[in-house]
C-alpha cells in the first residue's frame, strides 16, 4: 500500500513538473510579445507619439505593467486619462481622454495653453491647436498643471463665455485673438479684421453679424458695440 502511494505521488510530481515546464515554454513563446498597438481618441498627438510614450512595442506581456504605462501616458500634457487593454494574441488597445483646451495666454514670448478651469496645460512656443490667444489677463506667475492665478477673474470668465459661443458656431479657429483688457471695449481679431465688440452683452447676436461681414471683408475695422441700437459700422481697408 505504501509503495502504491509513493508511485502515485511520484507520478503527480512528474505531471506537475511537466505542466510547469510546458506552461513556461508557452509563456516565453513570441506569441505573447506585443506586436500591435491601436490608439483610439487621439486628436492632439500622432499615433506614433502615443506608441512611443507607452513604451510597449515588442515587450512581453508578463514584463509589462499597464499601471506604469498609464503613468507614462499621463505625462503628456494634453492626456487627461488613458485605459489600456490587452487582446490576445499580441495586441494592445490604448483609449485616451484628452484635455479640452480653451485658448492661449501670451507669456514672455511663449504661450500658456489653458483649459476652461484656468489650469495651465502646457507652455509652448507654438500653438498646437487653432484657438484664440486671450489678451488682457493679469497674472505674475504660473505652474504647469495648476490654475493660473488670474487677478482679473471677470475678464477670464468673459473669455470662457465668448470662446464657448465661438465653438458653438465652429468659429473659434478663425479668431486669432481676443482682447478682454477692457470689458466695455472687447476686441476680436479675425484675419486682419479688428472687431469692436464693446461689452459681452448679446455676444451671440454680434457674432452672427461678424460672420456675415467676414464673408465679404477680412481687413479693416468692424464696430459692433452699438448693434442693439441698429448700428454696425464697417471701415474696410481695400
Query: What per-residue confidence (pLDDT) applies to 235?
Result: 84
pLDDT of residue 238: 58
Q: Which CATH architecture has domain 101-236?
A: 3-Layer(aba) Sandwich (3.40)
Tell me the C-alpha distance between 33 and 144, whole Å: 36
The model's confidence at residue 40, banded by pLDDT at 50, 70 and 90, is: very high
- Among 210, 230, 208, smallest CA distance to 220 is for 210
Q: Which residues in the chain are classed under CATH 3.40.50.10960?
A: 101-236
Element (H, E) at 38: strand 36-40
Do 150 and 139 form a contact (C-beta atoms < 8 A)? Answer: yes
pLDDT band at 184 (very low <50, low <70, confident <90, very high): very high
Indicate the pLDDT class of residue 22, thresholds 50, 70 and 90: very low
CATH architecture of residue range(s) 32-98:
Roll (3.10)
- Return all residues near 148 (Cβ < 8 A) that are at least 6 apart: 105, 112, 114, 118, 119, 120, 137, 139, 142
Strands, DSSP E only, in 88-214? Answer: 91-98, 101-107, 110-115, 120-124, 133-135, 175-179, 186-190, 192-198
Helix (H, G, I), strand (E, B) or coil at 224: coil
Residue in this structure with the C-alpha cell 513563446, named with its chain if needed: 29
Q: Yes or no: say if 119 and 148 are a contact pair by the CB < 8 Å rule.
A: yes
- What does pLDDT average to over the chain? 87
4, pLDDT greater than 90? no
Question: What are the residue ranges of CATH 3.10.20.310 in the chain?
Answer: 32-98
At 16, the pLDDT band (50, 70, 90 cuts) reads low
CA distance 44 to 131: 13
C-beta of residue 203 within 8 angstroms of C-beta of residue 197: yes
Contact status, residue 216 vs residue 172, Cβ threshold 8 Å: no
Can you tell me the mean pLDDT for 52-67?
A: 87
Are 145 and 119 within 8 A, CB to CB?
Answer: yes
150-159 tens-digit pLDDT = 999 999 999 9
* Integer Cα distance of 41 and 80 in angstroms: 12
Q: Range with the lowest mean pLDDT among 9-18, 197-206, 212-221?
A: 9-18
Beta bridge partners of 178: 134, 188
Model confidence at 104: pLDDT above 60: yes
Sign of the Cα torsion 163, 165, 171, 175 reads negative
- pLDDT band (50, 70, 90) for residue 21: low
Amino acid at each position: 500500500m505504501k509503495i502504491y502511494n509513493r508511485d502515485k505521488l511520484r507520478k503527480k510530481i512528474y505531471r506537475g513538473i511537466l505542466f510547469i515546464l510546458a506552461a513556461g515554454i508557452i509563456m516565453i513563446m513570441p506569441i505573447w510579445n506585443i506586436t500591435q498597438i491601436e490608439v483610439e481618441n487621439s486628436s492632439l498627438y500622432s499615433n506614433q507619439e502615443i506608441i512611443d510614450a507607452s513604451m510597449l512595442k515588442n515587450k512581453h506581456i508578463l514584463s509589462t505593467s499597464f499601471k506604469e504605462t498609464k503613468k507614462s501616458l499621463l505625462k503628456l500634457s494634453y492626456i487627461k486619462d488613458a485605459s489600456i487593454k490587452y487582446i490576445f494574441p499580441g495586441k494592445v488597445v490604448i483609449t485616451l481622454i484628452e484635455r479640452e483646451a480653451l485658448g492661449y495666454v501670451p507669456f514672455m514670448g511663449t504661450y500658456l495653453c489653458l483649459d476652461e478651469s484656468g489650469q495651465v496645460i502646457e507652455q509652448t512656443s507654438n500653438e498646437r491647436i487653432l484657438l484664440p490667444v486671450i489678451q488682457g489677463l493679469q497674472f505674475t506667475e504660473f505652474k504647469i498643471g495648476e490654475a493660473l492665478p488670474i487677478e482679473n477673474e471677470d475678464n477670464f470668465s468673459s473669455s470662457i463665455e465668448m470662446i464657448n459661443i465661438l465653438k458653438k458656431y465652429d468659429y473659434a479657429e478663425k479668431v486669432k485673438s481676443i482682447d478682454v483688457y477692457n470689458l466695455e471695449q472687447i476686441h476680436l481679431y479675425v484675419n486682419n479684421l479688428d472687431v469692436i465688440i464693446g461689452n459681452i452683452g448679446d455676444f451671440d447676436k454680434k457674432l452672427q453679424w461678424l460672420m456675415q461681414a467676414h464673408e465679404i471683408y477680412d481687413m479693416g475695422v468692424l464696430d459692433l458695440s452699438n448693434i442693439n441700437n441698429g448700428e454696425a459700422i464697417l471701415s474696410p481697408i481695400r
